[in-house]
Structure 1
Amino acid sequence: MVMFLFLVVALAVVVAAVTLAVVGGGGSAPLPEVAPERLQDPLPPDRPVNREDVESLRFPVAPRGYRMADVDDALGRLGAELAERDARIADLESALAGARAAAAHVHMAKPDHPDHPEGRR
């Protein structure tokens, strides 16, 4: 019984010493401050973000960071939506250019237009 109490007390002293060493620095110099990890591939500031920018974007991992799968899923969705938006904008711009060309052609085809062969002289 005495031996058991001695082992319990010795274990408590060892645990206390280790705890004090870790928490209190153990008398040694404190650990140096570490600069926070920064994003390696920031988004381009001089042009709109495109799908390739989003797909190549990687966030730094921290001990209490994020779930990579969730962020990757969100970035994948964002990239797909940007690509869809860009394709829709290109279609609308093409349709607008076609409508403007057709309107210009109709306007020039009127007899009172100066460029029409039967226009005013």
Structure 2
Amino acid sequence: MFWFLLIALVVVVAAVTLFVAGGERGDVLPEAVPDRLAGPLPADRPAARADVEALRLPVVLRGYRMADTDEALDRLGAELAERDARIAELEAALAGARAAAAGTAGGDEEPRPADPRDIRDTEAGA
């Protein structure tokens, strides 16, 4: 019983001390600013590799802030789909140009499949 009373006394003294020490300043803590996406992806141009590397998603108690994370992933997914469509369009145009060139050359050979390196070489030369 003695130990119980001693522990209870220590707890009460500690609580009173914290209450008095905390209340003397009279300062009130400022409202916490919600953690938001610090550097969102640029809206005026497509996201570059550096933008994705610099992206820091806000953290909450149980992981990342869902709305900001979903927004960033949706944006990146849309840009990747747009780039894939553009690559497919360029590959189709290249295959058509090769077929036309093979047809005018009079060769009976079948056009070879488009190679992405050829597209880059063609764009670099243009």
TM-score over 0.5 for the alignment?
Answer: no
TM-score by length of 1: 0.44
